[in-house]
Amino acid sequence: MTTYAAERPLQPAWRGLIGFNMFTALALGAGGWFLGAWIGGQIAVGNDYLIATDQNDVGILMGYLFGLIGWLGGLGFFNYPVSRLLGRPATVREKESGGAARYFTLCTDHKVVGIQYFFGVGIFFFIGGLNAMLMRTELLRPVERAWPAGQYLSLMSLHGTMMIMMTSAFILGPFGNYFVPLMIGARRMAFPRIEALTFWLVPPAGLILLSAIAFGGIPTGWTGYAPLGTEGRSGMDAYIFAFMLIGLSLTLTGINLLTTILTMRAPGLTWTRLPIFVWGVLSTSILMALAAPVLIAALLMELMDRAANTSFYLTSSGGSPYLYENLFWFFGHPEVYILALPGFGIVLEILPVFARKPLWGYKLAVAGMLGVTFLSFMVWQHHLFVSGMNSGLRPFYMLTTELISIPTGFIFLNAMGTLWHGRIRFTVPMLFALAFFFNFLIGGLSGIFLSDVPSDVTTHGSYFVMAHFHYTIMGGLVFAFFAAVYYWLPKMTGVVLNERLGKIHFWLMFVFFNLTFFPLFAAGFLDMPRRVSTYAPSLQTLNDFVSASAFVLGSSMLIFIANLIYSLVFARIPAAENPWASRGLEWQVPTPVPLENFERIPIVNSGPYEYGVEGAPPTATLGPVAVPAAGS
Ligand code: HEM
Ligand SMILES: [Cu+2]
């Protein structure tokens, strides 16, 4: 049974600060850190394996753990379990009618969580972007200048880890949480409190990662390879703890979305009527639920090696760093599809709306997504081609990797079939969706060179790899993210984003993205190595060009932020209920979306892409239906 929080009486604004919210959480989190660090210090006394180093990993890790507990307690995550233990009745919803304060606390409304994700992840993504600007500043000169080698390495690791951590839920966090219930005709997610938890794990993960700066930095890049990961300074504890929190958040997000989609679809929403974005979310959720726990396990062992004197990854006492590489990439490869698949979902969702045609080859698209999901668990050793793997295994992993291009190719076929003879409207979301295909094609084609053993042996560890994965992640996922932003933000915020600023943002980002990263393929072939701040002097002109382009690329984000502030704070032009004339169920509800989403659960009549199809019924029946009288 559902119960609702009573409307609270009016009170002065400052009173809102007292209670279970983000500010209390920060205070308790900081207090917890000191308590934990002190307890850790007590534990460490007399353990000679710790005395041998000049740092106390136990203290730091206990600090993070207690800090996390304080943070979650301050947000009110323990109230409900405790009240259940005391025998109070079960409730589903929490703090859903709290005005703006909802956004700063544990709120179980999936729409609030979506917006929390949008801003929360956005802030850390921006910090990751600033790191990139600092690196490109250093790379203006072929010799060491602003940062000594070790600091550059740390900066690079912070950038890479922050970006991967934050973009793992870049689309599922804001848009999966906000729109999946609306698109499947549900009132909420299957596990609303867990949904809130998945978000509130992200800010501590970001802050803890940043704290690595204070503890000697991260020497390993985003992959945390042993034995360096075990031997590195305490900054590695920050890396491990933060990435584990993200692993936990991803696992829970996956399970929650999977359960929601499997069990809460409205009547009439058959598998062949499911919006393609929801299929993208479904396949991503499978990957999250199966791969992210492996990351947690791999990192937990590294943590134990550092703090509890175990030796899972230490050759000196019988462990194997090779084990780490295998476990890490067993997560890491599915992870790249955790990044890519939601992007496929978004662009295929958007193309039919702006081409005014049904999605071409719907079933092929579903098969493509599920094919990618399945195959992505069978390719991880392509990251180990040059790590001393049994060379007899190489052909197998080369084959499976190249096979993945087949289901991925389906997505491109869908796009071409949908665009063919369409009446295309070049709106901002459509431009971003089209750019996705352009960029991802280059990313995918360069990936073939890396899946092929002979060419991987020569390009591995060079800027070729760097260019490849920025084309897929930034050119793919980040462009798809902005397509979703411009497409859905009018529904989420109730106001229109400025179209002209949107177009300036798009063109700057598209042109300068390509100018930044395309030359890096050449830099790779010319042997510019990854992860170091120095390079051959002959490559300086190329690098200066890249850095200059990167700075313009970075500034295009400022135009987006300006647009956001201008449109949301100053202009506030109300958005129409269905501004793109979309058939999607999420556009058939009022703006702003009511707390309960639907007055009654809709009945779905047809698929969401039947644009221009003669006699297609409306997507769903939303109003009251006449119930036939008994006996008639
Ligand atoms: C303005 C945009 C960006 C620029 C200019 C940029 C630049 C760079 C540079 C210079 C490096 C280090 C290269 C090296 O020394 O090896 C790097 C590494 C990396 N970047 Fe970016 N980047 C950008 C955006 C992104 C985005 C959006 C993501 C992911 C969402 C991302 C993920 C990574 C990763 C995973 C690494 C590798 C870290 C490692 O080797 O461990 N970057 N980037
Ligand atoms: Cu891979």
pLDDT (0 to 100) of residue 94: 81
Average pLDDT score over residue span 521-526: 96
> Is the pLDDT at 72 greater than 80, yes or no?
yes
Average pLDDT score over residue span 241-245: 98
Determine whether the shortest distance from the Cβ of 608 to ligand 1 is under 6 A: no
In this prediction, residue 52 has a pLDDT band, given cuts at 50, 70 and 90, of: low
- Encode pLDDT of 228-240 as tens digits: 999 899 999 999 9
Contact partners, residue 575, CB within 8 Å, separation at least 6: 490, 491, 493, 494, 495, 496, 591
Protein residue whose Cα sits closest to atom 34 of ligand 1: 160
Determine whether the shortest distance from the Cβ of 135 to ligand 1 is under 6 A: yes
Determine whether the shortest distance from the Cβ of 474 to ligand 1 is under 6 A: yes
Average pLDDT score over residue span 390-401: 92
C-alpha 240 – ligand 2 centre gap (Å) = 21
In this prediction, residue 8 has a pLDDT band, given cuts at 50, 70 and 90, of: low
In this prediction, residue 56 has a pLDDT band, given cuts at 50, 70 and 90, of: confident
Determine whether the shortest distance from the Cβ of 167 to ligand 1 is under 6 A: yes
Average pLDDT in the chain = 93
All structural domains of the chain = 19-55+67-88 (no CATH), 113-386+400-587 (1.20.210.10)
Among 163-167, 590-594, 613-617, name the one with the lowest average pLDDT: 613-617
Protein residue whose Cα sits closest to atom 39 of ligand 1: 221
pLDDT (0 to 100) of residue 85: 96
Protein residue whose Cα sits closest to atom 40 of ligand 1: 221
Task: Determine the angle formed by the axes of helices 110-138 and 540-565, rounding to 10 degrees.
Answer: 150
In this prediction, residue 2 has a pLDDT band, given cuts at 50, 70 and 90, of: very low
Q: How far apart are CA 54 and CA 350, in angstroms?
A: 55
pLDDT (0 to 100) of residue 628: 59
Protein residue whose Cα sits closest to atom 3 of ligand 1: 132
For 243-317, strand residue ranges (E) read none
Sequential DSSP letters for 369-437: HHHHHHHTTS-GGGGGTTTT--GGGHHHHHHHHHHTHHHHHHHHHHHHHHHTT------HHHHHHHHHH
pLDDT (0 to 100) of residue 631: 54
Q: How far apart are CA 64 and CA 68, in angstroms?
A: 6
Average pLDDT score over residue span 530-534: 94
621 pairs with which residues across the strands?
603
Share of the chain above pLDDT 70, in %: 96
Per the CB < 8 A criterion, the answer to whether 593 and 183 are in contact is no
In this prediction, residue 626 has a pLDDT band, given cuts at 50, 70 and 90, of: low
- Encode pLDDT of 164-220 as tens digits: 999 999 999 999 999 999 999 999 999 999 999 999 999 999 999 999 999 999 999
Determine whether the shortest distance from the Cβ of 466 to ligand 1 is under 6 A: yes
pLDDT (0 to 100) of residue 3: 45
Ligand at shortest distance from the CA of 519: 1
C-alpha 470 – ligand 1 centre gap (Å) = 7
- Encode pLDDT of 87-139 as tens digits: 999 888 888 877 888 999 999 999 999 999 999 999 999 999 999 999 999 99
- Encode pLDDT of 580-589 as tens digits: 999 999 999 9
Protein residue whose Cα sits closest to atom 43 of ligand 1: 132
pLDDT (0 to 100) of residue 54: 72
> Is the pLDDT at 1 greater than 50, yes or no?
no
Per the CB < 8 A criterion, the answer to whether 375 and 336 are in contact is no
pLDDT (0 to 100) of residue 625: 62
Determine whether the shortest distance from the Cβ of 530 to ligand 1 is under 6 A: yes
Which of 137, 151, 159, 440 for mutating ligand 1's site (highest number of atoms within 8 Å of CB)? 159
C-alpha 137 – ligand 1 centre gap (Å) = 13
pLDDT (0 to 100) of residue 632: 45
C-alpha 566 – ligand 1 centre gap (Å) = 29
Ligand at shortest distance from the CA of 334: 2
Ligand at shortest distance from the CA of 398: 2
| Measured CA distances, 55 to 38, 58, 231, 472 (Å) | 14, 9, 11, 39
Residue with tokens 């029946």: 621
Ligand at shortest distance from the CA of 514: 1
Average pLDDT score over residue span 144-169: 94
C-alpha 555 – ligand 1 centre gap (Å) = 16
Ligand at shortest distance from the CA of 451: 2
pLDDT (0 to 100) of residue 124: 98
| Measured CA distances, 57 to 49, 52, 94, 236, 238 (Å) | 11, 12, 37, 9, 10
> If DSSP codes are grouped into helix, strand and coil, which group holds residue 303?
helix
Determine whether the shortest distance from the Cβ of 132 to ligand 1 is under 6 A: yes
C-alpha 328 – ligand 2 centre gap (Å) = 11
pTM comes to 0.94
Contact partners, residue 531, CB within 8 Å, separation at least 6: 153, 156, 221
pLDDT (0 to 100) of residue 622: 86
C-alpha 398 – ligand 2 centre gap (Å) = 11
Protein residue whose Cα sits closest to atom 29 of ligand 1: 163
